[in-house]
């Protein structure tokens, strides 16, 4: 693996609070709330309107996606992404910090982090600990809206960080890439149901390892240290010196694997954007490994 200088993937709540106190928020530094919750659980936009980090804008993952796709939360086009983030005041020179309000400390923020990276933007970080710890530590919140001046953002898709269904099928034969699934063990094995939209049974792609995304987080909601993360990959016999693809249900928590590997010095983890949602609907029965039907019987 070629060594390169990596932009900091995590920033602390203390660092961001100091930036706000120093009035550094603006064209050079933008903060995005990338929260999303299953319908009926919590209302991310309502919660943002009620309180958020001062100067933050709402990154609506339902708007910033390919709405023509039958699969969930697929990447938008370069033009769509550039236009969307440009209207949030972001240019190619902006340091973007993303967070979300999930009780785990982080859920959708790594997806937003990866979206910026896959569209060629390297100066992007995740707020370590998320909004949960921002509030817990007593940092300021506000209900005031920020209306930044639009920025000029040019998006350039980095195809090395993205995998398609066809490439995943090819990899079953070539085995050029290791594949790791970030869902819970039960969903991976097929012993517990898939949440969210109906019509998708649990299971996994043949030859895939399982490393649940929440295992990278401490009980308090912070990212574990690199030594712990490295040992987690090693326990699953995942070699970080070799090519790696991350998958999940819809390409969201897979980005936690990409972030964890990045913290260990591996910036080239690719995401299978369609993930299990696409694979379940397109793959042949023998290419879907699951205990689900056996359990139902």
**Cβ proximity of 110 and 146 under 8 Å:** no
**Cβ proximity of 52 and 142 under 8 Å:** yes
Q: Tell me the two tokens of residue 87.
A: 């209207």
Query: Which residue out of 248, 255, 264, 277 is catalytically annotated?
Result: 248
**Cβ proximity of 105 and 35 under 8 Å:** no
Residue 277 annotated as catalytic: no
Which letter, b or e, does each residue of 6-44 get, where b requires 16 or more Cβ atoms within 10 Å of its Cβ?
eeebbbbbeebbebbeeeebeeebbbbbbbbeeeeeeeb
Q: How many residues does the chain have?
A: 297
List the Cα angle 13/17/20 in 5-degree steps.
Answer: 145
Cβ count near 91 (within 10 Å): 17
Cβ count near 203 (within 10 Å): 26
Q: Among residues 35, 47, 211, 4, which one has the least CA distance to residue 127?
A: 35
What amino acid positions are annotated as catalytic residues?
A: 248
């Amino acid at each position: 693996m070629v060594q390169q200088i990596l932009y900091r993937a995590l920033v602390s709540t203390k660092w961001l609070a100091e930036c706000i106190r120093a009035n550094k928020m603006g064209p050079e530094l933008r903060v995005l709330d990338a929260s999303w919750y299953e319908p009926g659980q919590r209302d991310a936009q309502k919660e943002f309107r009620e309180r958020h980090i001062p100067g933050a804008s709402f990154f609506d993952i339902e708007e910033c996606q390919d709405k023509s796709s039958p699969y969930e939360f697929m990447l938008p086009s370069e033009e769509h992404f550039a236009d969307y983030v440009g209207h949030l005041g972001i240019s190619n020179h902006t340091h973007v910090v993303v967070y979300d309000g999930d009780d785990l400390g982080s859920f959708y923020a790594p997806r937003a982090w990866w979206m910026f990276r896959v569209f060629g933007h390297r100066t992007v970080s995740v707020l370590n600990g998320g909004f949960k710890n921002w509030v817990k530590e007593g940092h300021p919140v506000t209900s005031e809206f920020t209306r930044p001046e639009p920025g000029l953002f040019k998006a350039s898709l980095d195809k090395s960080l993205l995998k398609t269904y066809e490439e995943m099928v090819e990899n079953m034969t070539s085995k050029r890439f290791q594949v790791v699934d970030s869902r819970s063990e039960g969903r991976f094995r097929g012993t517990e149901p898939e949440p969210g939209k109906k019509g998708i049974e649990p299971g996994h792609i043949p030859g895939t390892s399982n490393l649940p995304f929440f295992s990278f987080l401490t009980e308090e909601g912070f990212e574990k240290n690199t030594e712990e993360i490295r040992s987690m990959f090693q326990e699953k016999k995942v070699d970080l010196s070799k090519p790696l693809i991350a998958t999940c249900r819809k390409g969201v928590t897979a980005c936690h694997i990409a972030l964890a590997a990045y913290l260990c010095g591996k910036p080239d983890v690719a995401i299978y954007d369609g993930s299990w949602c696409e694979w379940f609907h397109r793959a042949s029965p023998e290419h879907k490994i699951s205990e689900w039907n056996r359990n139902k019987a």
